[in-house]
């Protein structure tokens, strides 16, 4: 097969001709493939390999563009793939194996994306539309091939073309590595949003960093999790387009000087260059193709020290280049060291600086010769996905003031109208705080600007709360200041001192009036008695005067920095103060944000706070990853309209009891389970039964997500099985395959202990012949989007069991529910809304609620908590060494005691454990009735209509960005 294909490829030829410098025709064999027609400043691109095309034309201006939009057949697709196999080679010419087939196919698809991208870009430029820019440190895209051809409506032609070349589309698609640009839900949400923006024709771009080695590739060994660098870029990335002509300088360190015009200038320091790499993002069945612009960092050749190299000092020769390049090496480098903290800050500033410079350059280009900066917020919306891009606030202000010459007042107003902030966490450690000293050293001008914002905030707080109650004022400043434990600005200090002096003057006047009154009353008294009394009063007054504190000293004592506390910059506070909108990502989370996390700000600016419940794209997370179930849904709802209008999924409710639908539904689920069986065998070597219930928890490994509660439940189940006869086991327990997946951050020791514990339990249980297929435990290594696309369609029970009030939203719960998987979980994050939509009877609920958590922790600290005997039984069982020789005392100890860091069961595993295992009994009971279970599964899919990212993006566009869809002609 390979020889015949290569022979065909070698027979191809490429002929170029130029006609009067106006037309260029590129020929592929006898078939004309691409035509570039230069018309004044406009152009069009057409693929005429197929006659199946139609033409759209912008007739409003000769300066516009014309594009031939075509729907290729398998023959034209085949020609395109062959062309790229020969003329865009990433592999040697003598072979046409799967990797080469993938790259040629991807490059073929990319041609069409570039055509659409160019058209979209030109149209936005011409129309000068308002555009949203989504800044995120993560974009967890997954594989792009199937998603791209699915959105383009070309799955059939590409499958046919590859069949003619001897390969299946599925096998070719599996050659693609996942783009290592993200870690968890934050990044996947960003990618779902880009898909929805393009599908809904919203003018929007994403901005991120191009990580060379990703977060890490996870290996599971006998020692638990091990990390190695991702290799996703080693063979190149066919989806990206390097824009060598789009680069921006990014500066660190240096100093700030003031010019004769009093304009500040940031000089000296360390300079690097950020270069743009574009990844086209196609919409579903629309010509709109938006952009994900990723930044890579480098230095020019002049930075290479040739003299040092020739002297043999090779490390010194390329030291500067390596320092620049390493900024984009790793996602979230460990920040235990000063070097790690510095690198993280450099990453965040690089994203913000390069992106803002690019956004401003595009605004100026669209404005032409008449740049009106007051119109900037009318043309630009910047969304900060969590606090990582916070530095875009002082960076925008710096450019507007220092480079463009705007006043502070004007720049501040523009910035506040432009930026908005999405909060993704209530965990204190995740609300970023940076060392004031480090930030001042790395970004001296930005710290000056942040201090100006902090000063504005302080004046607002003083105006709101006054200066009468200094204790209240101190409390508000401690909670709301951006610069924590940093000197109060002089303008604020003067107001506080003045108010204190006024208070002292009033006190003195009142005392003087009281003394005069006492003198009048004592005139009739005997002279000696008056003298004695006066002497006493004078002595008391002297004492009082000694006790009166100097107002300035008093204010500095109350509000001045404490020498034993660190000076930090609260990035979340900076976001809330500077942005015009702050949103949570689920209804319960947004309430916690308003009532707890940012309550003081909410009381000050209630109009800023909104809820935008997360969503997921139904194209990738149902249609493309679960085609068999999608066909069933389309059949029973009457059309595939649900792909862009998930409200149509609700129509499944009226068929939930239909036996024909239930039969088809179970068959699809079974086929998806078989794919999981193959994945488990391939990645772990374990063999599991598809007849068992597939029970899955896949998400980042973190104590608050409580994988520990899940594995403790499994240990309890295993122990009870071991205490029963084979007949009793079969009668009491439904067979289960319990699957885990997720990465523990490399320096998060306790999370890595949990991974190790899960794998040790798996090694014991899976080799226990007495238990057999009644219970299997599997940790799927290196969990990513592609793994999720296999696990989610075949799962039957999914665990979302975080400590209530700690999960902002979650999106995997939405994906599972959309695919007909039942959920067991707490009332946390989006679980609350999912349960409302799918129905309380179709959701397995347990555990303490968010409003109870603080009281439960208080009870624990006071020694009032009494653990359930079953929980103690599990811990004792683990300590017997049944799961191997590893010492789990630190892990067990975190669940014990009443106080102390890493102890006292902060995440309430022990409190919720009895409720959890009793709820699991209800799961077993429901699963035994497959008719009932299937109905519940159908109702979960029907109830997921609310959780499309399309719906979420409509809300962002309407309420925060204030942009309109722009459909290309």
Q: Which three-class secondary structure string do you get for 444-478?
A: HHHHHHHHHHHHHHHHHHHHHHCCCCHHHHHHHHH
DSSP β-ladder status, 53-57 and 66-70? antiparallel
Residue 924, SS3 per DSSP:
helix
- What strands lie across the sheet with 433-435, from one edge to the other? 433-435, 568-570, 483-484
Identify whether the C-beta of residue 267 lies closer than 8 Å to the C-beta of residue 254: yes
**Can you say whether the dihedral through the CA atoms of 308, 313, 314, 320 is positive or negative?**
negative
- Report how far apart the first and last C-alpha atoms of the chain are (Å, whole number): 44
Burial class of residue 246 (count of CB atoms within 10 Å of its CB; 0-12, 13-18, 19+):
middle
Establish if 74 belongs to a structural domain.
no
Burial of residue 92 (number of CB atoms within 10 Å: 0-12, 13-18, 19+): exposed
Tokens found for residue 609: 């706070």
- How far is 278 from 207, CA to CA, in rounded Å? 9
pLDDT of residue 528: 54
213 belongs to a structural domain: no
Query: Could you report the per-residue pLDDT of 163-199, keeping only the tens digit for each?
Result: 999 999 999 999 999 999 999 999 999 999 999 999 9
Amino acid 554: pLDDT? 82
Structural domain boundaries enclosing 793: 627-947
**Token pair belonging to 457:** 């905030």
Query: CA quadruple 403, 406, 409, 410: dihedral positive or negative?
Result: negative
Could you tell me the CA-to-CA distances from 431 to 225, 412, 588, 927 in Å, in that order? Answer: 27, 24, 18, 41
29: alpha, beta or left? (left if phi > 0; alpha if psi -120 to 50): left
Strands 270-282 and 241-252 come out as: antiparallel
Does some domain include residue 922? yes
| Angle (CA) 397 401 402, round 5° | 110
The strands making up 270-282's β-sheet, listed across from edge to edge, are 241-252, 270-282, 289-298, 204-209, 131-135, 380-385, 419-422, 582-584, 609-611
Q: Is the dihedral of CA 845, 848, 850, 851 positive or negative?
A: positive
CA-closest candidate to residue 955, choices 259, 202, 439, 231: 202
C-alpha to C-alpha distance for 705 and 758, rounded to whole angstroms: 14
Q: Which whole-number Å values give the CA distances from 68 to 915, 961, 962, 969, in the listed order? A: 62, 32, 32, 12
Give the SS3 label for residue 782.
coil
Q: What is the pLDDT, as a whole number, of residue 650?
A: 97
Q: What are phi and psi of 298, to 5 degrees?
A: -160, 175
What's residue 31's pLDDT? 37
Cα angle for residues 964, 966, 968 (degrees, 5° grid): 175
- Helices marked H in 128-237 — which ranges? 145-151, 155-164, 169-173, 185-199
Alpha-carbon separation of residue 337 from 333, 334, 343, 344 (angstroms): 10, 8, 10, 11
Residue 555 in any domain: the answer is no
Predicted local confidence at residue 497, as pLDDT: 86
- Which candidate, 134, 512, 401, 518, places its Cα nearest to that of 290? 134
Instruction: Compute the chain's Rg from CA coordinates.
Output: 32
Token pair of 628, please? 């068999």
Q: Which two tokens stand for residue 43?
A: 């152009």
**Containing H/E element for 938?**
helix 930-942
* SS3 assignment, position 712: helix
What are the b/e assignments for 441-480, b being 16+ CB within 10 Å?
A: ebbbbbbbbbbbbbbbbbeebbeebebeebeebeebbeeb
- Number of domains making up the chain: 1
For 823, phi and psi rounded to 5 degrees?
-110, 140
Domain CATH for 769: 3.40.50.2000
pLDDT of residue 516: 54
Q: Which uninterrupted H or E stretch holds 557?
A: helix 551-559
Q: Which of 696, 692, 662 is nearest to 934 (CA)?
A: 662
Other beta carbons less than 10 A from residue 735's beta carbon: 19
In a domain, 912, yes or no: yes
Ranges of residues in the chain whose predicted pLDDT is under 50? 1-69, 505-507, 543, 545-546
Q: In which residue are the tokens 């009932």 written?
A: 932
Kindly list the distances between the CA atom of residue 661 and the CA atoms of 175, 747, 807, 928, 935, in Å, as whole numbers in the listed order. Answer: 35, 48, 35, 19, 10
**Which residues are known catalytic residues?**
424, 699-700, 705, 811, 815
800 contacts 826 by C-beta, under 8 angstroms: yes
Per-residue confidence (pLDDT) for residue 70, from 0 to 100: 55
How distant is the alpha carbon of residue 736 from its chain centre? 32
Beta partners for 241?
278
Does some domain include residue 488?
no
Is there a domain that residue 747 lies in? yes
Burial 384-415 (b: 16+ CB within 10 A, else e): bbbbbbbbbbbbbbbbbbbeeebeeeebbebb
Instruction: Return the closest-CA partner of residue 646 out of 815, 839, 832.
Output: 815
- Residue 846: inside a domain: yes
CA–CA distance, 613 with 837 (Å, rounded to integer): 13
- The three-state secondary structure class of 45 is strand
Name the token pair of 490.
Answer: 């002089």
User: Strand 289-298 to strand 204-209: parallel, antiparallel, or no bridges (unpaired)?
Assistant: parallel
């Amino acid at each position: 097969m390979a020889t015949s294909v290569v022979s065909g490829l070698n027979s191809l030829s490429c002929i170029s001709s130029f006609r009067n410098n106006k037309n260029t025709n590129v020929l592929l064999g006898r078939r004309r493939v691409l035509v570039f027609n230069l018309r004044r400043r406009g152009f069009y691109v057409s693929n005429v390999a197929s006659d199946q095309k139609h033409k759209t034309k912008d007739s409003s201006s000769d300066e516009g563009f014309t594009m031939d939009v075509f729907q290729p057949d398998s023959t034209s697709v085949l020609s395109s793939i062959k062309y790229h196999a020969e003329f865009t080679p990433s592999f040697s010419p003598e072979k046409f194996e799967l990797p080469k087939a993938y790259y040629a196919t991807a490059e073929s698809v990319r041609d069409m994306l570039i055509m659409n991208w160019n058209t979209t870009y030109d149209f936005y430029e011409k129309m000068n539309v308002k555009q949203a820019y989504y800044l995120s440190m993560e974009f967890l895209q997954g594989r792009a091939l199937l998603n791209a051809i699915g959105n383009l409506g070309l799955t059939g032609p590409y499958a046919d073309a590859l069949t003619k070349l001897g390969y299946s589309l599925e096998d070719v698609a599996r050659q693609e590595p996942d783009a290592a640009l993200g870690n968890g839900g934050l990044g996947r949400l960003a990618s779902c949003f880009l898909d929805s923006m393009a599908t809904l024709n919203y003018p929007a771009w994403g901005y991120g960093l191009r990580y060379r080695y990703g977060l890490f590739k996870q290996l599971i060994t006998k020692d638990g999790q091990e990390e190695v660098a991702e290799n996703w870029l080693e063979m190149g990335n066919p989806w990206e387009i390097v824009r060598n002509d789009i680069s921006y300088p990014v500066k660190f360190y240096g100093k700030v000087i003031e010019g004769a015009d009093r304009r500040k200038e940031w000089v000296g320091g360390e300079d690097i260059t950020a270069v743009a790499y574009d990844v086209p993002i196609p919409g579903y069945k629309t010509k709109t193709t938006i952009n994900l612009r990723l930044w890579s960092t480098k230095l020019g050749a002049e930075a290479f020290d040739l003299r040092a190299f020739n002297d043999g000092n090779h490390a010194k020769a390329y030291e500067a280049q390596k320092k620049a390049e390493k900024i984009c090496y790793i996602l979230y480098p460990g920040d235990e060291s000063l070097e790690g903290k510095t690198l993280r800050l450099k990453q965040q500033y690089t994203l913000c600086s390069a992106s803002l410079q690019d956004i401003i350059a595009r605004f100026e280009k669209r404005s032409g010769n008449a740049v009106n900066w007051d119109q900037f917020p009318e043309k630009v919306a910047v969304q900060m996905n969590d606090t990582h891009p916070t530095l875009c606030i002082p960076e925008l202000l710096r450019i507007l003031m220092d480079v463009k010459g705007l006043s502070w007042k004007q720049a501040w107003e523009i910035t506040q109208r432009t930026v908005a902030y999405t909060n993704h966490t209530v965990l204190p450690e995740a609300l970023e705080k940076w060392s004031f000293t480090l930030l001042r050293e790395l970004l001296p001008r930005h710290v000056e600007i942040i201090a100006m914002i902090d000063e504005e905030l302080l004046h607002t707080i003083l105006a709101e709360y006054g200066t009468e109650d200094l204790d209240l004022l101190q409390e508000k400043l401690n909670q709301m200041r951006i610069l924590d434990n940093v000197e109060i600005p002089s303008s604020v200090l003067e107001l506080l001192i003045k108010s204190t002096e006024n208070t002292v003057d009033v006190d003195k006047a009142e005392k003087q009036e009281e003394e005069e009154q006492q003198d009048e009353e004592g005139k009739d008294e005997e002279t000696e008695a008056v003298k004695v009394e006066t002497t006493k009063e004078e002595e008391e007054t002297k004492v009082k005067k000694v006790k009166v504190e100097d107002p300035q000293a008093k204010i500095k004592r109350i509000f001045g920095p404490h020498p034993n506390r660190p000076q930090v910059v609260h990035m979340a506070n900076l976001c809330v103060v500077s942005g015009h909108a702050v949103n949570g990502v689920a209804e319960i989370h947004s309430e916690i944000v308003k009532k707890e996390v940012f309550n003081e700000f909410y009381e000050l600016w209630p109009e800023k706070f909104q809820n935008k419940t997360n969503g997921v794209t139904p194209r990738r997370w149902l249609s493309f990853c679960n085609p068999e179930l999608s066909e069933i849904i389309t059949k029973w709802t009457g059309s595939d309209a649900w792909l862009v209008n998930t409200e149509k999924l609700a129509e499944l409710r009226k068929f939930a009891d239909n036996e024909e639908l239930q039969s088809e539904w179970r068959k699809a689920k079974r086929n998806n389970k078989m794919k999981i069986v193959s994945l488990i065998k391939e990645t772990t070597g374990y063999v599991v039964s598809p007849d068992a219930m597939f029970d899955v928890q896949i998400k980042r490994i973190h104590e608050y997500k409580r994988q520990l509660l899940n594995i403790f439940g499994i240990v309890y189940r295993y122990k009870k099985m071991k205490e029963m006869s084979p007949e009793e086991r079969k009668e009491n327990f439904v067979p289960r395959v319990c699957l885990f997946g997720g990465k523990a951050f490399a320096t998060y020791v306790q999370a890595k202990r949990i991974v190790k514990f899960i794998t040790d339990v798996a090694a014991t249980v899976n080799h226990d012949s007495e238990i057999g297929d009644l219970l299997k435990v599997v940790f799927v290594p290196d969990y990513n989007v592609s793994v999720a696309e296999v696990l989610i369609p075949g799962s039957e029970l999914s665990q979302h069991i975080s400590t209530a009030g700690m999960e902002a939203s979650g999106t995997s719960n939405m994906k599972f529910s959309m695919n007909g998987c039942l959920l067991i979980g707490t009332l946390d994050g989006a679980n609350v809304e999912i349960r409302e939509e799918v129905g309380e009877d179709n959701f397995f609920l347990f555990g303490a609620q968010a409003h109870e958590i603080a009281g439960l922790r208080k009870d624990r600290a006071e020694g009032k908590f009494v653990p359930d005997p079953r929980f103690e039984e599990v811990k004792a069982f683990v300590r017997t060494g049944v799961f191997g020789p590893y010492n789990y005392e630190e892990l067990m100890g975190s669940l014990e005691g009443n106080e102390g860091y890493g102890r006292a069961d902060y995440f309430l595993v022990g409190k919720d454990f009895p409720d959890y295992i009793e709820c699991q009994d209800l799961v077993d009971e429901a699963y035994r009735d497959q008719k009932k279970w299937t109905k519940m599964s159908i109702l979960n899919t029907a109830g997921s209509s609310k959780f499309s990212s399309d719906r979420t993006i409509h809300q962002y566009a309407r309420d925060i960005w204030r942009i309109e869809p722009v459909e290309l002609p």
